[in-house]
Chain A
């Protein structure tokens, strides 16, 4: 036979007993590489074409709202004499003369408003204000709601009952009442506070916007608290919580390390879906004149101002309206996609 060995010989081939190489080991591993929570979720998220498109739109709007105004040739509060109430792509007399002189004049894509301010940049900055409000408000809601809901759900019993009755009361008080009253209460304290060094940002944002954040922080976390409480009440029945308790972990540690981390999927999804609803509320308040202060635009105040000239300048309403629609729609679709990807109940 080969190697000249007798076929009855029991002599073994020494090569067969060499340690296996890495490649050979690899080929024998039957299990797939373990897929963690995040990886699994992102893989499923990437497959969802609608959600990916929504993510792209969100990124595009973020760029338009936060980066483009930095390089845009007009400023949102810049009033150009003689260029009032221009239609889309119209030029004023002065600008036409400058163009005749060989100068390049940046076009007003959406025209200008009654004060001669370029409307495109106002819509973009309005989108920035609305997005900022949406994101900051949702973060506040996430922080307060998650902690409150976790504490109520974890301790249960009397603590839970008292905490949830407070939620019921806050849920029932009309929000418009608190917003209007709070705006009046905070007006003077905030104005004096804005003169203190380090608080100059209050003037930049406007006291109304700050009181709006306070309202979100005070009132709108109740929904988040209810959702988190429900999750925690299920999660705390798990064995690993009993194990952690037996090992002497403090309540704070269990909530932080074990409970909150385990409902992180729900938290992400609820926060993403909270952003459009905060933008909704912001544009509603600005529409009522309770939102951000002039000359700072927001999408709601732009839409509200456009109502007066609706017959002659309908595009002044369509532009912010379309922007609100796209922002809310893309965040909603993104949130739905994240829920499908990260919510364990949605796994099929």
Chain B
């Protein structure tokens, strides 16, 4: 088990290294540069700027310097936000996105798992049909539509909720709903189909035969066996939502990491692009390892090797 985990973490680090290398070279090979967009820059000033940030050196030397710094935990200075290191920016913006994303995932699990379980339990009944109807419709709405329509209804028309920023608890409501709608519907569907598989198993009949109540058999015996696909889905979901959704952060003007990352790309803020990409990639890889380990705890039949 420990050997397996170590092996997975090492493989993950290798993947992260490959992502970093690939991103570095793709980013630098694209024509254009960070200081071209600014107007009225004399060639001397541009050369001076490039020299200051080491962009005048050969690409491979830049790569080695960057990797060396990265291994020492230093992701460099932002080229556009003068005076801020990339570490600072991630440290400041990540908590905002993480809180929002974490809440959305929590809501999605709390809604999706019970709904899926109920739908499977009442298979073919009214509750099942209603849940299927809503979850199928829910995965057909892109989050930018949910958020704009909500904004129109709740902020513009009814003036119930603040439309911008994250200043009050009430301003969390719309972004969290917009982020959580798709995953909760997806989880409900996933949960329903895996629950239906489990309900047909022999041990469920045994549990009922020895007198376990229907409710307990569903929520104790079946749930634990049926939740594995949901856990698989949760890993990458948690990573992508916690590192910030650009669309949602843009619509609700939330100062999060997703917005920082996407606006860094057109302005060619190289260190910021590298930093956020590596952060995101490592997070996804780490979550996937965590999911594999969680398997072994949820289902002891699974042997990690």
Contacts and interface: CB of A to CB of B under 8 A. Distances in A.
Nearest to B236: A171
B154 interface: no
Interface in A149-204: 165, 168-169, 171-174, 176-178, 180-181, 184-185, 188
B100 interface: no
Contacts of A280: 142
Nearest to B151: A310
A66 interface: no
A177 B148 contact: no
B265 interface: yes
A148 B19 CA distance: 20
B31 A310 contact: no
A325 B141 contact: yes
B22 interface: yes
A169 B22 contact: yes
Contacts, number: 103
A261 B251 CA distance: 46
A194 B245 CA distance: 35
B265 A310 contact: no
A267 interface: no
A329 B140 contact: yes
Interface residues of A, number: 37
A300 B137 CA distance: 18
Contacts of A74: none
Max count, chain A CB within 10 A of own CB: residue among B27, B140, B273, B285: B140
Contacts of A332: 136, 139-140
Contacts of A336: 136
Interface in A290-348: 300, 303-304, 307, 310-311, 314, 317, 321, 324-325, 328-329, 332-333, 336
Given A173-B281, A324-B142, A325-B145, A181 B152 contact: no
B145 A184 contact: no
A185 B151 CA distance: 36
B174 to A, nearest CB: 14
A172 B284 contact: yes
Given A180-B266, A325-B140, A332-B136, A173 B23 contact: yes
Interface in B108-162: 136-137, 139-142, 144-145, 148-149, 151-152, 156
Contacts of B106: none
Interface string B77-106: 000000000000000000000000000000
Contacts of A314: 152
B1 to A, nearest CB: 22
Contacts of B284: 171-172
Interface stretch (A95-103, A243-251, A281-289): A281-289
B32 interface: yes
A19 B212 CA distance: 66
A181 B145 contact: no
Contacts of B262: 176, 180, 288
Max count, chain B CB within 10 A of own CB: residue among A177, A180, A287, A321: A177
Given A177-B277, A180-B265, A284 B285 contact: no
B30 A185 contact: yes
Max count, chain B CB within 10 A of own CB: residue among A168, A178, A300, A333: A168
Contacts of A283: 142, 144
B26 interface: yes
A303 B145 contact: yes
Nearest to A322: B145
A288 B151 CA distance: 18
Contact of A311 (B141, B156, B277): B156
B19 A173 contact: yes
Contacts of A333: 136
Max count, chain A CB within 10 A of own CB: residue among B142, B148, B152, B265: B142
Contacts of B149: 317, 321
A276 interface: yes
Nearest to B145: A321
Contact of B15 (A168, A317, A328): A168
Given A181-B265, A332-B139, A165 B31 contact: no
Given A180-B262, A328-B139, A328-B141, 7 more contacts: A171-B284, A174-B277, A181-B27, A303-B145, A303-B148, A325-B141, A329-B136
Interface of A: 165, 168-169, 171-174, 176-178, 180-181, 184-185, 188, 276, 280, 283-284, 287-288, 300, 303-304, 307, 310-311, 314, 317, 321, 324-325, 328-329, 332-333, 336
6 contacts: A171-B284, A174-B261, A180-B266, A184-B30, A287-B142, A329-B137
Q: Enumerate the 10 nearest inter-chain pairs by beta-carbon distance, A residue then B residue, closest first.
A: A329-B140, A328-B140, A172-B281, A180-B265, A169-B18, A321-B145, A181-B30, A185-B30, A168-B15, A287-B144
